[in-house]
Amino acid sequence: MNLAYTPEQKAFRAEARAWMEAHVPRDPLPSFDASREGFEAHRRWERTLNEGRWGMVTWPRDYGGRGLDLIQWLIFEEEYYRAGAPLRVNQNGIFLLGPTLMEYGTPEQKARFLSAMASGDEIWAQAWSEPQAGSDLAAVRSTARRDGDEYVLSGHKIWSSRAVFADWAFGLFRSDPQSQRHKGLSLIFFKLDTAGVRVQPIPQIDGETGFAEIFLEDVRVPAFNRLGAEGEGWSICMATAGFERGLMLRSPARFQMAAKRLIELYQAHQDEVEYSTRDAVMQSVMDADAYALSIYATASRLMAGGQIGAEASVNKIFWSELDIALHRTALSILGARAELLRAAPAAGDVGRWLDGYFFSLAGPIYAGSNEIQRNIIAERMLGLPRA
């Protein structure tokens, strides 16, 4: 891995920075989880990004991207967070399903879905978890019965991010009724306004509805909506999970910018807190930088032809625990002021820390719980026997 940026990479950074300075909204957008209005405001931002071909810079030009490499993507992310640009409402699509479609989709599927995904015209929800499966994805029971040129979907999904306002969802279904565990599963897309689909919002701790249950009763979808071969959904989902845990879902810039804000918060209040708080601040800064270096190394290896393996689980555990520690340190600095919700009249910037802390609590659960990741590390990286 070369730790020095090339002249081309520096020029790309300058271009990205200039565009962000010209286009990032001056006022924060309303939450995309709180209302349809906020969701649509973020959809318009996705369209603005796509018009500048910044929607997903690593995608081919034919699908609205720039065909850039992963190092350039990391540079773009650094400029994105530096500019304080809005959170990406379509991250399930562009960061998770999109790369999987690139690898496993047919030319017709790529043509149908990728451009609409990049433009924000179609926002995607993730529909993997089920009430009886939890983090054990191989235990899903929802079914996909083949009937001619269609599948008939039935079952119950839960903890589906963005499903309340999204347009499409991708989920894992048991297409072989006699199959067990990882066998006989297929990855299938469905529109959330299809007859037989019912979406039930789940209020979060802050009252917003970032999650939903999805009930499917004899939902008919074209067989065209299956990604990959029938019964091979597990291996395809694991590729998506690799993107999610190992690289794309949480770019290092997210935590480096939060660490920078944490330093500023500490400097503003250092006379009010115990001296030991400084150690916690410095640990968060060092961890954020360590994560960045690790991801740069992973990106370099992938560009050289390598693959994301079980080490994706290490990354996932690291960033999820870093996020909690960083926000807990911020709340300890703020003391009683940390209890102000973002909407409180006197909250100011304080409310962002409580928002971030609430969200960080979900980190060890989503994208595969940290308990599952530790099992993967034990078995696949350390060679330990199954418990």
CB-CB neighbours of 383 under 10 Å: 7
pLDDT, residue 62, reads 86
Dist CA 320 CA 317 (whole Å)? 5
Residue type, 182: H
In the chain, % of residues over pLDDT 70: 95
CB-CB neighbours of 22 under 10 Å: 9
Both tokens of residue 141? 């029971």
pLDDT, residue 292, reads 94
Quote the mean pLDDT of the chain.
90
pLDDT band at 241 (very low <50, low <70, confident <90, very high): low
In the chain, % of residues over pLDDT 90: 59
pLDDT band at 242 (very low <50, low <70, confident <90, very high): low
pLDDT, residue 95, reads 85
Which is higher by pLDDT, 207 or 5?
5
Q: What is the three-class DSSP state of 99?
A: helix
Q: Are 214 and 157 in contact (CB under 8 A)?
A: yes
Q: Are 186 and 233 in contact (CB under 8 A)?
A: yes
In the predicted model, what is the mean pLDDT of residues 235-245? 69
147-197, pLDDT tens digit by residue?
999 999 999 999 998 999 999 999 999 998 888 788 899 999 999 999 999
pLDDT, residue 387, reads 67
Q: What is the three-class DSSP state of 73?
A: helix
In the predicted model, what is the mean pLDDT of residues 115-121? 92
pLDDT at 3 over 80: no
pLDDT band at 275 (very low <50, low <70, confident <90, very high): confident
pLDDT at 244 over 60: no
pLDDT, residue 111, reads 93
pLDDT, residue 164, reads 94
69-100, pLDDT tens digit by residue?
999 999 999 999 999 999 999 989 988 899 88
303-319, pLDDT tens digit by residue?
888 877 778 888 889 99
Q: Is the dihedral of CA 112, 117, 121, 124 positive or negative?
A: positive
Q: What are phi and psi of 221, to 5 degrees?
A: -130, 150
Check residue 232 and report its DSSP letter. Answer: B
pLDDT, residue 37, reads 94
**β-bridge pairing 150-157 and 143-147:** antiparallel
In the predicted model, what is the mean pLDDT of residues 36-64? 92
**Mind giving me the DSSP string for 340-353?**
--TTSTT-TTHHHH
pLDDT at 243 over 70: no
Q: Provide the annotated active-site residues.
A: 244
pLDDT, residue 246, reads 59
**β-bridge pairing 168-174 and 124-127:** parallel
User: 286: Cβ–Cβ under 8 A, 6 or more apart, which residues?
Assistant: none
In the predicted model, what is the mean pLDDT of residues 357-378? 87
